[in-house]
Amino acid sequence: MCGIVGYIGEKQAQPILLSCLCRLEYRGYDSSGIAVLGSDIEVYKDAVRVRVLEKASPPLIGAIGIGHTRWATHGEPSLVNAHPHCDCTGKIAVVHNGIINNFQKLRQKLTSEGHNFISETDTEVIPHLIEKYYEGDLEKAVETALREVEGSYAIIVLMAGEPKLVAARKDSPLIIGVGDRENFIASDVPAILDYTSRVIYLEDDDIGVVTTDNIKVRRHGVEIKRKEHKILWSVEDAQKAGYEHFMLKEIHEQPKVIRDTIGVYVSMTEPVADLALQGDTGLEDMLILACGTSYHAALLGKYIMEELIKIPVRAELASEFNYWGRTSARSRTIVITQSGETADVLKAIKRLREEGRRVIAITNVVGSTASRITDQVVYTRAGPEISVAATKSFIAQLMALYWLALPYSKIDIRRLDSLIMGLRQLPGKVQQVLDNEAVISECAKQLSRHQDVFFISRGINFPVALEGALKLKEISYIHAEGYGAGELKHGPFSLLGSDTPVVAIVAQDNTYEAMLTNIREVKARRSPVIAVVEEGDEAVGELVDSVILVPQVDAIFSPVVNTVVMQLLAYHAAKQRGCPVDFPRNLAKSVTVE
């Protein structure tokens, strides 16, 4: 997820482009760049944040320009990979947000036709394709070029000698800001709100042709009219897309994040990383290391891998592993880290590499240290996560773990097919949980009145109970513990009572009956119980105080829908208590010290 902008008018474009880009940094901030058309196109870009670029860039004269702030997906953050990207002549410049899935094929073809590529990005194929098809009509050349592109894109094209901007979108947001003797194009409303509140939303397959005093929208070659909207939001509200907090926005982004993350791992059978788990090397075990919420993903990875690949898997805290952990030559290690910068994880990687172990990283940040010092990287596609408490990045990590395991799974083909189908249906299932937010928020209000809460479950949902407790602790300042339901009787029972509610996650799997027993034991000690159960379950409702229903999914996917309930419980409890949800006290998004 990057931020793109365009300006055409009577004022100098450079300062306007830079201030619009600053408003879009919540979409990505690992590099930035602008291109301005004066007598010719001048480009200034680097692997720096917009404010730094602003200070360093020389004056670029011209009243037409485009700009970009990046969240790297293909090619590490660097000057050469930063946008805008140009064609061989330097006369066509493009900024892009999205992912071009067939860029390698296009690149090979264009290279064989004499085009010279300088970056590692998927985007660079676009200006070269436009150059290939340009015969005096820029819109036509853009339309023809885009017919060859597979994937998602929002682009803005600037061309020397053409006093216009051409914009196009497919599966990535793009808006036009309507001004007076000037117009704007941007990924999202926050970018332009300092200049205008009149906005036109482009739809998929629309092509916008924007000049200083005219806006034309074409669709499949035909000119159409798009409605103009008046935006009443403040810039900050707009950055949150109307949600009150980044955390709630990021929770609601999860159906798209699941689609984006599994969408990249095209084929089922093509391993996303070389686990090399069976046959020649006879690996003994697998070790998954992480911290915080990512550690709970590691624990879930243990259940997923053991269930599908049938080998022993250890999940350990990186901070503990660094002082105690052992591996053998026949261990395979995966580290999970959203930021790719958590010190404890980096220390573990360095030690493992010194011991000659191969390490695979699952990370959300292209170019992060973890992605550079490991043998293989599996990127999650959660986009930038602003809220300190991890939500969408966690769900994306689970998608990566399912994808890592499936090609190596030792299950029969019919089961494999049903799991693949189940994965593809997950975005819809998660949306169903989000649609049930009102019920979850009511239960959260009950929790917000207490200072101690237990989360319990068994089997593959035990790590979800841990994550539920961590989320509540992180943002609502309520003391919470996640526990294996079978463990309560070995101590925590002493803490139960009417002041200590219990959230019980009850999955339709081999732990179901045991969970019913544990809930009866908890009720016998007068704790109020909120149960998270699958639609169609009648038995649990009779035993507990409140029920949160989740859609039916295969048991191995139940942690995904149950986790979204945990996230919303914590969010609404924290909101009820007036806590600073996005930036809780004493915490940081990435802890780069041991």
Task: Dump strand ranges (E) for 272-388.
Answer: 285-290, 313-317, 331-337, 359-363, 376-379
Compare residues 41 and 579 and give the one whose CB is closer to ligand BG6.
579
Q: Can you tell me which of 339, 457, 518, 567 binds ligand BG6, judged by CB under 6 A?
A: 339
- The values of phi and psi at residue 340, to 5°, are 75, 10
Using the rule CB under 6 A, is 373 a contact of ligand BG6? Answer: no
**Identity of the residue, 292 or 407, whose beta carbon is nearer to ligand BG6 in the bound complex:** 292
Q: Is residue 127 within the footprint of ligand BG6 (CB under 6 A)?
A: no
**Contacts of the segment 424-428: beta carbons below 8 A, 24+ positions apart:** 424/262, 425/553, 426/258, 426/399, 426/553, 426/557, 426/560, 427/255, 427/256, 427/258, 427/259, 428/255
Give burial (CB, 10 Å; 0-12/13-18/19+) of 209: buried
> Quick one: 229 or 589, whose CB is closer to ligand BG6?
589
Name the phi and psi angles at 187, rounded to 5.
Answer: -65, -30
CA-to-CA distance for 121 and 96, rounded, in angstroms?
10
- Among 327, 338, 380, 563, which residue interacts with ligand BG6 (rule: CB under 6 A)? 338
Residue 209, CA distances (Å) to 119, 165, 214, 423 in order: 27, 6, 8, 39
**Among 167, 217, 360, 390, interactor with ligand BG6 by CB under 6 A:** 390
**Hey, which residues between 408 and 437 contact ligand BG6 (CB under 6 A)?**
none
Beta bridge partners of 290: 317, 336
Binds ligand BG6 (CB under 6 A): choice among 178, 272, 317, 345 = 345
What is the three-class DSSP state of 81?
coil
> Minimum distance between the CB of residue 339 and ligand BG6, rounded to whole angstroms?
3
Q: Locate 157 and state its tokens.
A: 């094209």
Does 589 bind ligand BG6 (CB under 6 A)? Our answer is: yes
Catalytic residue among 109, 347, 350, 589: 589
Long-range pairs for 369-376: beta carbons < 8 A, 24 or more residues apart: 369/340, 369/341, 370/335, 370/337, 370/340, 370/341, 370/342, 370/345, 370/346, 371/76, 371/340, 372/76, 373/346, 373/349, 374/335, 374/349, 376/273, 376/274
- Check residue 591 for interaction with ligand BG6 (CB under 6 A): yes
Q: Which range binds ligand BG6 by CB under 6 A, 2-10, 198-206, 333-341, 539-547?
A: 333-341
Q: Which stretch binds ligand BG6 (CB under 6 A): 7-15, 80-88, 385-393, 557-565?
A: 385-393
Any contact of residue 588 with ligand BG6 (CB under 6 A)? Answer: yes
The enclosing H or E element of 396 equals helix 392-405
**Nearest CA to 466 among 573, 541, 355, 563?**
563
183 binds ligand BG6 (CB under 6 A): no
68 versus 296: smaller Cβ distance to ligand BG6:
296
Using rule CB under 6 A, residue 388 touches ligand BG6: yes
Contact pick of 389, 395, 419, 465 for ligand BG6 (by CB under 6 A): 389
Active site residue 2: yes
Closer residue to ligand BG6, CB minimum distance, 97 or 337: 337
DSSP 150: -
d(CA 65, CA 164): 9
Q: Does 261 bind ligand BG6 (CB under 6 A)?
A: no
Residues 172, 187 contacting (CB under 8 angstroms): yes
Smallest gap from Cβ 364 to ligand BG6, in A, equals: 8
Region from 17-25, 102-110, 441-449, 581-589 binding ligand BG6, contact rule CB under 6 A = 581-589
Closest distance to ligand BG6 from the beta carbon of 244 (Å):
20
Structure tokens, 589? 């998004």
- Show the binding pattern over residues 278-317: x = contacts ligand BG6 (CB under 6 A), - = does not: -------------xxxx-----------------------
* DSSP code of residue 203: P
Cβ nearer to ligand BG6, comparing 345 with 548 = 345
272 binds ligand BG6 (CB under 6 A): no
Which among 34-42, 117-125, 477-485, 583-591 is the span making contact with ligand BG6, rule CB under 6 A? 583-591
CB of 181 to ligand BG6, least distance (A): 46
When CB distances to ligand BG6 are compared, the closest residue is: 292
Q: Assess whether 249 carries a catalytic annotation.
A: no
Regarding 193 and contact with ligand BG6 (CB under 6 A), the answer is no
Nearer residue to ligand BG6 within complex by CB, 210 or 389: 389
Helix, strand, coil abundance in the chain, percent, nearest 5? 40, 25, 35
Separation between Cα atoms, residue 407 and residue 180, nearest integer Å: 56
Nearer to ligand BG6, 517 or 592 (CB): 592
Residue placing its CB nearer to ligand BG6 in the complex, 118 or 587: 587
| Residue with tokens 């910068």, as numbered in its chain | 341
Strand partners, 314: 287
| Residue placing its CB nearer to ligand BG6 in the complex, 52 or 587 | 587
- Give 147: exposed, middle or buried? Use CB within 10 Å, 0-12, 13-18, 19+: exposed
# of chain residues touching ligand BG6 (CB under 6 A): 17
Q: How far is the CB of 420 from ligand BG6 (least distance, A)?
A: 27
Q: Is 580 exposed, middle or buried (0-12, 13-18, 19+ CB in 10 A)?
A: exposed
Interaction between residue 367 and ligand BG6 (CB under 6 A):
no
Q: Which two tokens stand for residue 314?
A: 């250890």
- Only one of the segments 77-85, 99-107, 235-243, 335-343 lies at the binding site for ligand BG6 (rule: CB under 6 A); that segment is 335-343
> Which residues are tagged catalytic?
2, 589
Q: Site residues (CB under 6 A) for ligand BG6?
A: 291-294, 337-339, 342, 345, 388-390, 587-591
